Amino acid sequence: MKKNIWHIQRAQSSINSTFLIRGGRVIDPANKIDKIADVLIVDGKIAAVEENITFDAQETFDATGKVVTPGLIDMHVHFREPGQEAKEDFESGSRAAVAGGFTTVATMPNTSPVVDNSALVRSMIKRAEDVGLINIKIIGAVTKNQNGQELAELFDMIDAGVVAFSDDGHFDDNAKIFMNALDYLQPTGKIIICHEEETSLVKEGVMNEGKRSAILGLKGRPTVAEDIAVARDALLAEYTGGRVHIAHMSSARSVEIVRDAKKRGVKITAEVTPQHLTMTDDLVDPSDTSTKINPPLRTQKDCDALLEGLKDGTIDAIVTDHSPHAPEEKDREYIYAPSGFPGLETSLGILLTDLYHKNKIDLPTLISKMTYEPAKIFGLDAGNLTIGAPADITIIDTERAWTVDAEKFYTRGSHSPFVGRNLKGRAVATIVHGNLMRLL
């Protein structure tokens, strides 16, 4: 039985309420704020960010010694609705998000059925409003059933409320179809999030192709498969004027390709996961399927290039690629187990422990990549503490020591390579629309 460690309530806009967060280090990259200050919330919206606010609020939170940021944003999660609720649903997924400090997430469309029509988008938005504890955004498929052969109802889905499009889990091999999608979406400004692996080069591969895969006798997925795909989509974005966003980058060469494309003015952005920033294929153990992810863990050279790309602005956002599976699916031989693991509850802790506390990245940059920058890319009303903005806030204790325990996860997934890790730093309170959800 999993132990509940959060007091979580249904997030609803607070009416006629006041809430004051006192004395924290407020980091708001959108407004270039990094100082000790108070944050006043009135009726679920930011009312003031100032030093020594004098206000008799109905509720207060002493954030002395803690960091106060805009609510964390994750634009790449798999909540498995519809059709795969045994792995995760909007309710369990949003609880995991709250526990990890996230106030806004976007769900990928590779569900059953695939999210490729407006009716399904509308039903999912309604479902998210009914049961979600956070802001759940919907991403629609680029092609019908994600089969890469025929474009989905792109404009209808925009009218229904999607924030972006993706055939995540699949590379769109048909360049003509993909180019048509970029052409059609170019006037709308909507982004296509691209899963980048040249299919013919990764068939049956289960880990990075290299020395480690040879030692283990496992078929590999080479970095060049990602590089070729990224290069193609960068060129198509340049040709059409459309917007592409490179999902879960893992290759050093891909970082160079995106960097060069940005210098040419191509409308291209990119994301990276904590696992691809901090883990290598040396950690792959055929007896532990939690390390099987897609794209696979690469080399230290790739990790270093990804971190440099994150710091110099080549990579715009950090995501979790939260991908829970049923235990019986992951408890199989490595070659047969599905790729992915739940990441919402461990992401911040891993980044603080392995990057911030080791002086590999500063805190304002890290927070920007998890708040302001993804919000800016996808046009979200989130990721900032501007006066009048929704009061979605994360309070972080960067010194909080804790151990990753799958029995305490809110997600329905349990297979994580981080289980048992001693971490330093985590979210201690998540505020959604002015409602406080506190770590006990």
Nearest CA among 13, 14, 45, 46 for reference residue 129: 13
Choose, from 28, 321, 392, 397, the residue flagged as catalytic: 321
User: Helices (DSSP H) in 161-273: which residue ranges?
Assistant: 175-185, 211-216, 223-240, 252-263
Residues in the chain: 440
CA distance 290 to 300: 19
Two tokens, residue 329: 């699916």
Alpha carbon distances (Å) from 292 to 81, 220, 284, 354: 22, 12, 8, 20
Cα within 13 Å of Cα(419), Cβ side = 16
Q: Indicate the residue type of 84.
A: Q
Contact yes or no for 110/145 (Cβ under 8 A): no
Two tokens, residue 286: 């055929």
State yes or no: is 43 an active-site residue: no
Q: Where are any strands of DSSP class E within 12-125?
A: 18-28, 33-42, 45-50, 59-62, 67-70, 72-77, 102-107
Contact yes or no for 262/268 (Cβ under 8 A): yes
CA distance 22 to 37: 7
Measured on CA atoms in the order 203, 208, 209, 212, is the torsion positive or negative? Answer: negative
CA distance 179 to 165: 14
As annotated, the active-site residues are 321
